[in-house]
């Protein structure tokens, strides 16, 4: 537990700062939403663009690792989506819940934790997972949310509405633009690099402060969604790493180090992405915020047990 605590403490610290500032009135009632707007429209698009623009495709070409992690990611997402919709959730809300069950916090916890455990050998696999999560999973969820929010039933009109909405979404446009820059080998000026780094570096801290401010809002005891948050936390911390291990070790027979990296990344707590989506689309964010909090707390135990096993193997 003590090996993961120094990495998780900043996560709690930033969320706690937002919580305390909101409770004491330093941040106003719209602080969570306004901070989230900054993250959605500036911070996170800059981060996604930067990741894709600097992706070295030759180094990232690890098809077996990509397939193992992507299939586990998709399996958790689709299974949760179906179960939540069968339980009566709207497609948009079920999509956000599915992201919460499958979205590992690779950016804020994954990179430093894997560097401590595996060294520089973990950088490429962690980058691959970050791209899968931040671009592919995020984009898939946004498409489903947009479909769920459209009321037009005619298929061609529905498709046109969804495409127009996606074309205006910075979380879709930014990584596509970054991939184009990388594919065309367009060099970014130094000032542009600095601009992206400054904005991208602000995304995670602002999202965590926004999360803390949202959690500080007073709600009635036993608010709906507590059981759902516990379920999503269990899926995130137990089922996803187990499924990833089975695919990586048994199906694709990856080398032991890659198996351990994949499982450790899959076992990370839920990142702030689902909360940002819930706030951006004005859906109920209580389930996602609780899932982030509970999974981060629970990961102190689950990650510590996993690290103990990895070090003994």
- Partners of 270 in the β-ladder: 104
Q: What is the pLDDT of residue 216?
A: 84
- What pLDDT is attached to residue 84? 93
Question: Quick one: pLDDT at residue 152?
Answer: 52
pLDDT number for residue 300: 83
213-259 residue pLDDT tens: 887 877 655 555 678 899 999 999 999 999 999 999 999 999 999 99
H/E stretch holding 47 reads helix 44-53
**Domains: count for the chain:** 1
Cα distance between residue 146 and residue 273, in whole Å:
16
Position 185 pLDDT exceeds 90: no
User: In this structure, what CATH number is given to the domain that contains residue 11?
Assistant: 1.20.1530.20
Please tell me the distance from the alpha carbon of residue 181 to that of residue 54, in angstroms, as a whole number: 9
The answer to whether the beta carbons of residues 209 and 15 sit under 8 Å apart is: yes
Average pLDDT over residues 84-91: 91
Task: Quickly list H helices, 54-154.
Answer: 57-60, 63-86, 91-102, 111-118, 123-131, 138-149
Q: Are 104 and 269 in contact (CB under 8 A)?
A: yes
Instruction: Tell me how far apart the alpha carbons of residues 121 and 42 are, in angstroms, rounded to a whole number.
Output: 31
Separation of alpha carbons 134 and 123, rounded Å: 16
Burial 259-278 (b: 16+ CB within 10 A, else e): bbbbbbbbbbbbbbbbbbbb
Residues 6+ apart with CB under 8 A from 109: 7, 8, 11, 268, 269
Contact assessment for residue 72 and residue 250, using Cβ atoms and an 8 Å cutoff:
no
Q: If you average pLDDT over every residue of the chain, what do you get?
A: 85
CA 197 to chain centre: 19
pLDDT for residue 71: 97
Domain extent at residue 143: 5-218+225-312
Per-residue pLDDT tens digits for 1-37: 555 677 677 877 888 899 999 999 999 988 888 888 8
Q: What is the pLDDT of residue 183?
A: 83
Residue 138 has what pLDDT? 84
**Alpha-carbon distance 233 to 292, whole Å?**
8
pLDDT given at position 153: 56
pLDDT at 224: 57
* Residue 98: pLDDT band with limits 50, 70, 90: very high
Q: pTM of whole model > 0.85?
A: no
Please give the average per-residue pLDDT across 259-275, as a whole number: 91
DSSP helix/strand/coil, 2: coil
The partner residues of 104 in beta bridges, in order of sequence, read 270
- Considering only residues 80 and 120, tell me which one the structure prediction assigns the higher pLDDT: 80
Q: Is the pLDDT of residue 283 over 60?
A: yes
Q: Give, in degrees to the nearest 5, the angle at Cα 231 between 230 and 235.
A: 115
162: confidence class by pLDDT, cuts 50, 70, 90: low
Stretch 46-67: mean pLDDT: 84
Is pLDDT at 154 greater than 80 in this prediction?
no
d(CA 281, CA 118): 38
| Alpha-carbon span 139 to 133, nearest angstrom | 9
């Amino acid at each position: 537990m003590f090996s993961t605590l120094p990495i998780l403490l900043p996560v709690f610290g930033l969320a706690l700062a937002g919580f305390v500032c909101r409770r004491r009135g330093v941040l106003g009632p719209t602080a969570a939403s306004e901070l989230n707007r900054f993250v959605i429209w500036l911070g996170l698009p800059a981060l996604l663009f930067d990741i894709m623009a600097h992706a070295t495709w030759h180094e990232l070409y690890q098809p077996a690792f990509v397939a193992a992690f992507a299939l586990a990611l998709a399996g958790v997402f689709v299974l949760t989506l179906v179960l939540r919709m069968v339980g009566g959730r709207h497609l948009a809300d079920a999509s956000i819940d599915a992201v919460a069950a499958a979205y590992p916090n690779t950016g804020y916890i994954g990179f430093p934790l894997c560097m401590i455990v595996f060294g520089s050998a973990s950088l490429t696999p962690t980058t691959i997972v970050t791209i899968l999560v931040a671009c592919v999973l995020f984009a898939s969820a946004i498409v489903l949310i947009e479909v769920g929010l459209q009321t037009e039933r005619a298929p061609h009109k529905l498709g046109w509405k969804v495409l127009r909405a996606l074309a205006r979404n910075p979380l879709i446009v930014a990584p596509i633009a970054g991939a184009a820059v990388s594919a065309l080998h367009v060099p970014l000026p130094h000032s542009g690099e600095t601009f992206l780094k400054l904005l991208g570096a602000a995304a995670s801290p602002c999202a965590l402060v926004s999360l803390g401010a949202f959690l500080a809002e007073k709600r009635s005891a036993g608010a709906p969604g507590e059981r759902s948050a516990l379920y999503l936390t269990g899926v995130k911390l137990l089922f996803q790493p187990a499924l990833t291990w089975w695919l990586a070790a048994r199906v694709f027979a990856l080398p032991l180090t890659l198996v351990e990296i994949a499982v450790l990344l899959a076992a990370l707590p839920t990142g702030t992405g689902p909360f940002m989506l819930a706030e951006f689309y004005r859906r109920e964010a209580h389930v996602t915020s609780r899932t982030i909090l509970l999974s981060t707390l629970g990961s102190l135990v689950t990650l510590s047990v996993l690290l103990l096993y990895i070090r003994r193997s």
